[in-house]
Structure 1
């Protein structure tokens, strides 16, 4: 069955939307002024929490991130939402615009306050088709817990909104510090940066892999008196442990085998500026001692040197590790943690800032579209055209758990945009669909392998083999059981398949690069390299690389 066009969708069955071009009654006012059994309240303050509708996906993709604060709810009134109003605006901006999509009905959706902080939604007869969790909704009452978590509403199969809670302070303008997003979590990060940027205090940035810790360090540097001086970024997890001290603090000629001349080191190279140490939890013990001395005295000793050198460097460290646990295990020094954490900033994972996902996707998509000359996709001229980002795909992106956070979102956006180059809408290939399916928001236990009659390995096709391996995340035993072949046979099949590799055949360079990109997360590495997790862990140990989630 072919893809339905916008006009065909209008006529598909009794629940279809009415034709947006036909004559309709005048639009209703955006906010119903009659009270609904509640005493009117004062207008919400900047700190008062109110329900909010955030645009996550719209046929005009640039509208992602626009918001409508349902302030009438806090005042005990109903709020009516239609294609003609009220206006959605970006935080900090005065003027906005209504949803305006011709497939969204003029007959409004009505939001009204309920008891105990609940919020009611009512869809008028013949109004906009609203889908939630794959089910058609005509009326629904949301609990405070649901509003806190956020509720996805799909309107007319074209617009995706997130119903959640936020404060009136979301409207306040301010410097974005180069960070995309308006969620409470990212606003708090900006506030922390603005408080600490001009001080000579060490900062420890904590957050999961891919949350943008280096971006925070750059923002602190750019808004500090050290702006214009060197900013150096060093990933301690990627430096061989035996060279880490010399790389950071410098070395004298002849201090170690291969030291044929004096080495300056990153601290001296960053003199007067900022040094960002990522994955500080990977620092070897001798480096920890030397870092502690620099932080306490402002002096360093190059490897092999006898004379201290004064240093003037703002140190910002980052980690996705539990340093307190490292301390209990004797792998990290408690005094160093206390010195590094002169001020601590926690970056929220992407799953805690879902209202930012639409804006982030649009930001990354624009970068890719501009590089291939298709930026017009974000602002279509035909209001009846099918959305470039189909609503079902947008919902899938928004429900995903994003274990790799913003870095993973950028990579998947690139795959979608380039993989759909020249196509009218974004399309997702099977491999990307499997990736998005592999780590949803609510992980489910893996189903027990289906009993399969024993058969010969020669009866297994290459596609069948690949599908079974992906289904069971490269667990060879489970894949073999599913295929109904002995485990010993699956190795032969893998060796014969042109597109399947074994961990033992991967190059050191490929493993090292993937280890750095995934922050040492074994599960993420196995998923990216598409090899056995157990075999990959053995290779990592052989190469002296540590692994998380092993």
Structure 2
């Protein structure tokens, strides 16, 4: 398998062509132009929203994407419609995502907008490199929602629980593709992945979607069988073959006849078992321990390991021919830390199981939109930053402990022991960097058309407009005054403001768009007139 690093030339904004190792890394695309920035909800006050996604593909075309309380919609794979963030603590003033230089993504928050934090630091404008996007950037929004800014495929994924595996990351999509590609064939399969990544789940999916569905599926952990009994347990034994063999033993191979035999931790197989496995794979025959007559066997063999078998071969602990036979086709499972966009949905799935068991499933769908989220943003961020050395199995166990430990409480509480566990292995997260400096310009060089376009783009946020034009904030007023077609809030008449207030039903954002003046200055004039607004 070949490895491909991130390409140097990304078009149009440097984000569209990211390709990495096929099979070895979850961030794999069938073609480079599938890669787009995306936002995935990791946690939300309505906990069932976890896993919903918004593609920011318009950024690649040079257009800004504005995310606010009222839109756009976040959707799930397989669902045609979605919902906006729709939390009362999220402002109507949008969080704006745009293309920066050299493939970066810029994030900025309009004046008076929602509080956004990155790695514990409050930000109003920052940018992230394509490498940081590939790793994923956690965003704390209003102290209530956690989103992951990352790279995703433009292709629409299958429903997240397809083949029994939840998630929509590129890594888990790739695993599903492997399963469907290999399920109806008879070649041996070697599944590689760290402990707890779901290797047996993949083996079961291969079995269930192949022609042996409905026949035996036998799972054997070679690491749990005493070495002196491994051969007899796998291949069977005749009575009297060894001390204590008082009767014939069938063995797992014959028990799985016509079906699938899954050998987990195959790297732990003793040398004599490796020789016998190689013979079965080459001839389709086995010899029971103590037997002299070969027995035909019809078994689909799937093996799995979390070991580096190539190192075992160099150390003389594993036979190279056996590895070649076992890996007729390889499937590599991504660790959880490389598919962090799936973490929220996995946590939701495990939490729902535990909450239903204790009769508290209502925690996931609170009726009060102003209530504190059941999964606090601070805890969701800790889950997101944790490296999960035990992967999905560890996530499931920790979720169970959190749910049971918070039984009867309106909010999940993290006890000191679990808090300490989450500090043992932490993934480094990006630090927000300010946007690349714009070369300073003379205010006299800015045309009225350019000024008006910048003001409209940034919704009359004067600081962001000044940054975009490359002039000091103090100069923006002078530039506005030099262009008589661009008004200031102070020049509006009371009648004009009152009429607009009535037409827009007090919506401050709508008034700003209609009157095309600074939001802060307009709000000040509105208050002077004794009017109220419903904008953020």
Q: TM-score range by the shorter chain?
A: 0.7 to 0.9
8 Å CA contact 1:170, 1:182 repeated in 2:
no
Q: Deviations over 1:279-324 (max 9, x none)?
A: 0000000000000000000000000011100000000000000100
Question: In 1, distance between residues paired with 2:156 and 2:178?
Answer: 16
Question: In 2, distance between residues paired with 1:57 and 1:126?
Answer: 23
- 1:146 deviation in Å? 1.2
**Could you say what secondary structure the match of 2:280 adopts?**
helix
What corresponds to 2:526 in structure 1?
none
- 1:90 deviation in Å? 0.3
Residues 224 and 164 of structure 1: CA distance in aligned 2, closer, same or farther (over 3 Å) = same
Q: Which is bigger in relative contact order (C-alpha 8 A, separation at least 6)? A: 2
**Could you say what secondary structure the match of 1:169 adopts?**
coil
The yes-or-no answer on 1:424 pairing with 2:395 is no
Question: In 2, distance between residues paired with 1:71 and 1:223?
Answer: 34
What corresponds to 2:344 in structure 1?
358
Max radius of gyration: which structure?
A: 2
8 Å CA contact 1:47, 1:169 repeated in 2:
no
- 1:46 deviation in Å? 9.4
Question: In 2, distance between residues paired with 1:91 and 1:283?
Answer: 41
8 Å CA contact 1:300, 1:309 repeated in 2:
yes
- 1:328 deviation in Å? 0.5
- 1:428 deviation in Å? 0.8
8 Å CA contact 1:46, 1:169 repeated in 2:
no
Question: In 1, distance between residues paired with 2:299 and 2:336?
Answer: 31
Question: In 2, distance between residues paired with 1:63 and 1:321?
Answer: 37
Question: In 1, distance between residues paired with 2:231 and 2:319?
Answer: 16
Question: In 1, distance between residues paired with 2:222 and 2:126?
Answer: 51
The yes-or-no answer on 1:235 pairing with 2:237 is no
What corresponds to 1:105 in structure 2?
91
What corresponds to 1:197 in structure 2?
183
- TM-score normalised by L of structure 2: 0.74
- TM-score normalised by L of structure 1: 0.72
Among candidates 149, 152, 155, match of residue 141 of structure 2: 155
Matches within 5 A, 1:34-433: 47-171=33-157, 176-433=162-419
- 1:378 deviation in Å? 0.8
- 1:47 deviation in Å? 4.5
Gaps of at least 5 residues in structure 1 are 1-36, 444-550
Question: In 2, distance between residues paired with 1:431 and 1:141?
Answer: 36
The number of equivalent residue pairs is 404
**Could you say what secondary structure the match of 1:275 adopts?**
strand
The yes-or-no answer on 1:434 pairing with 2:444 is no
Question: In 2, distance between residues paired with 1:90 and 1:410?
Answer: 22
**Could you say what secondary structure the match of 2:155 adopts?**
helix
Question: In 2, distance between residues paired with 1:143 and 1:186?
Answer: 24
Q: Deviations over 1:70-102 (max 9, x none)?
A: 121011100110010000000222100101011
- 1:166 deviation in Å? 1.1
Q: Deviations over 1:254-276 (max 9, x none)?
A: 11111110000000000100000
**Could you say what secondary structure the match of 2:108 adopts?**
strand
Residues 397 and 300 of structure 1: CA distance in aligned 2, closer, same or farther (over 3 Å) = same
**Could you say what secondary structure the match of 2:380 adopts?**
helix
Residues 236 and 355 of structure 1: CA distance in aligned 2, closer, same or farther (over 3 Å) = same
**Could you say what secondary structure the match of 2:231 adopts?**
helix
- 1:48 deviation in Å? 2.1
- 1:212 deviation in Å? 0.5
Question: In 2, distance between residues paired with 1:161 and 1:337?
Answer: 42
What corresponds to 1:467 in structure 2?
none
- 1:182 deviation in Å? 0.5
What corresponds to 2:22 in structure 1?
none
8 Å CA contact 2:157, 2:168 repeated in 1:
no
**Could you say what secondary structure the match of 1:157 adopts?**
coil
User: Could you say what the CA RMSD is over the residues aligned between the two structures, in angstroms?
Assistant: 1.9
Q: Deviations over 1:487-543 (max 9, x none)?
A: xxxxxxxxxxxxxxxxxxxxxxxxxxxxxxxxxxxxxxxxxxxxxxxxxxxxxxxxx
Q: Deviations over 1:140-182 (max 9, x none)?
A: 0111111111100010110000000112114455871000110
- 1:114 deviation in Å? 1.2
What corresponds to 1:498 in structure 2?
none
Question: In 2, distance between residues paired with 1:403 and 1:175?
Answer: 23
Runs of 4+ deviating beyond 6 Å: none
Q: Deviations over 1:349-399 (max 9, x none)?
A: 000000000010000001100100001111111111100000000000000
8 Å CA contact 1:93, 1:171 repeated in 2:
no
What corresponds to 2:440 in structure 1?
none
Question: In 1, distance between residues paired with 2:80 and 2:103?
Answer: 28
8 Å CA contact 2:40, 2:148 repeated in 1:
yes
